């Protein structure tokens, strides 16, 4: 069994963060999203992993992942010139996959509980294709199966009128017949070779398409709100047991709940309410950090309040007297209260940024 993990695509719904960062490297609980996928396949015992990289961001991905020694796997990079669809990703990966079965894992999906059990099911039942479904409130955002008598009878990509409450998640396990499918379909409505059309091709040919339902949690991190929710869920999970790890300096600040504080970080006269992860070399002074917040290395927070947010590296939040909540701050972003006259808001924000003021 090999694995194929995506890190290409456009990430348009996460602009402006994705103008300068590949979406798959956005930190969730201070760890790049893509690392969770690599950990999951490594944990399932897979050694040969193909990572799909877009031509525009491949260097960033390669320098973050290296050759895979961190996970004791071998990574082969497969370059896709343009995001031409998920079935196109499979198509160009045929030389890497060869005759093996493989798990196809969308690198922007966060799945807790690993992938081992899905692989075990595939190996036990030997279908041509094993899909993993999740019950969702908004199926029109996903590939949606129609199910009859416990069997999938059709699959549509982002249908206006979904035929079930299920989403096909970004975790698929295939045998070699998938290559026949991806080589015989045509681009769909958004001009891409759709993976749902490849699945429909298999159904039309009478191939065995099995499914199992995800019981833990799953998140497609398409929108900013999804990232915050994934961050919340990982922080909850990471700290299942009562857990506190403080490597930096904390004065008599009030720390409660599950908290990780990294090296060279100083917490002075502040309140921290976990679950919270605070990285290295950070200064937090006269501030409140509330639950479900991840703060990455080299940030500075002074005289401010932050809760349920993700701060990437080198952010500064200084003297902001309104609590910052449900926010995503990209690398090097600053929010600073200006004193003096005239009293006004001053912004220096990039394309497609969003600021909500009260
Ligand atoms: O997350 C599950 C959904 O993923 C499924 O329900 C849909 O059936 C499936 O089509 C897919 O839909 P999305 O619209 O969410 O896919 P997206 O374009 O966001 O791409 C998913 C991942 O694949 C992401 O890691 C980016 C990468 N990608 C995408 C395309 C289209 C590539 O590497 N190359 C591509 O050409």
180 and 260 both lie in a single domain = no
Q: 350 lies in a domain? A: no
Q: Which residues contact 178 (CB under 8 A, 6 or more apart)?
A: 90, 128, 129, 198, 202
Q: 233 lies in a domain? A: no
Angstrom distance (rounded) from CA 86 to CA 245: 40
221 and 248 both lie in a single domain = no
Angstrom distance (rounded) from CA 179 to CA 169: 20
CB atoms within 10 A of CB 214: 18
Q: How many domains does the structure of the chain reveal?
A: 2
CA of 220, closest atom in ligand 1: 1
**Three-state secondary structure call for residue 183:** coil
Q: 353 lies in a domain? A: no
Q: What is the CATH number of the domain that holds 112?
A: 3.90.550.10
Q: 348 lies in a domain? A: no
Quick one: what percent of the chain has pLDDT higher than 70? Answer: 98
Q: What is the CATH number of the domain that holds 304?
A: 2.160.10.10
As a whole number of angstroms, the longest Cα–Cα distance in the chain is 73
Q: 282 lies in a domain? A: yes
218 and 304 both lie in a single domain = no
Q: 218 lies in a domain? A: yes
CA of 54, closest atom in ligand 1: 33
Q: Choose the residue to mutate in 4, 5, 6 for probing ligand 1, maximizing ligand atoms within 8 Å of C-beta.
A: 6
122 and 268 both lie in a single domain = no
Residues with CB under 6 A from ligand 1: 6, 8-9, 52, 80, 83-86, 88-89, 106-109, 142-143, 157, 167-170, 192, 195-196, 220, 222
pLDDT digits (tens, 9 = 90+) for 213-262: 987 788 888 888 999 999 999 998 876 656 789 999 999 999 999 999 99
SS3 per residue for 258-279: CEEECCCCEEECCEEECCEEEC
pLDDT digits (tens, 9 = 90+) for 169-207: 999 999 999 999 999 999 988 889 999 999 999 999 999
165 and 91 both lie in a single domain = yes
Which range of residues forms the domain containing residue 69? 2-226
């Amino acid at each position: 069994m090999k694995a194929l993990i995506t890190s290409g695509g456009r990430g348009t719904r996460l602009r402006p963060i994705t103008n300068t960062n590949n979406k798959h490297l956005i930190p969730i609980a201070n760890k790049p999203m893509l690392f969770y996928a690599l950990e999951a396949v490594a944990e399932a015992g897979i050694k040969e992993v193909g990572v799909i990289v877009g031509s525009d961001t491949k260097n960033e991905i390669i320098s973050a992942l290296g050759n895979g020694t961190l996970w004791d796997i071998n990574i082969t990079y497969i370059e896709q010139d343009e995001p031409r669809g998920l079935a196109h990703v499979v198509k160009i990966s045929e030389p890497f996959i060869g005759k093996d079965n493989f798990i196809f894992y969308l690198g922007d999906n966060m799945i807790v509980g690993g992938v081992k059990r899905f692989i075990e099911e595939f190996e036990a039942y030997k279908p041509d294709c094993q899909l993993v479904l999740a019950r969702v409130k908004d199926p029109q955002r996903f590939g949606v199966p129609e199910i009859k008598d416990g069997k999938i009878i059709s699959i549509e990509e982002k249908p206006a009128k979904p035929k079930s409450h299920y989403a096909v998640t970004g975790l698929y396990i295939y045998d070699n017949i998938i290559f026949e499918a991806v080589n015989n379909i045509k681009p769909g409505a958004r001009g891409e070779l759709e993976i749902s059309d490849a699945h429909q091709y298999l159904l039309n040919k009478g191939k065995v398409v099995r499914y199992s339902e995800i019981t833990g949690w799953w998140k497609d991190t398409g929108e900013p709100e999804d990232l915050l929710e994934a961050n919340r869920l990982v922080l909850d999970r990471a700290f299942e047991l009562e857990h506190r790890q403080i490597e930096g300096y904390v004065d008599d600040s009030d720390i409660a709940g599950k908290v990780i504080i990294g090296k060279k970080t100083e917490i002075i006269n502040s309140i921290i309410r976990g679950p919270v992860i605070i990285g290295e070399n950070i200064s937090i002074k006269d501030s409140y950090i509330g639950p479900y917040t991840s703060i990455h290395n080299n940030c500075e927070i002074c005289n401010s309040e932050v809760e349920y947010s993700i701060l990437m590296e080198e952010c500064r939040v200084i003297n902001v007297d309104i609590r910052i909540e449900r926010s995503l701050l990209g690398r090097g972003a600053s929010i600073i209260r200006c004193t003096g006259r005239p009293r006004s808001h001053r912004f220096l924000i990039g394309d497609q940024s969003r600021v909500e003021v009260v």
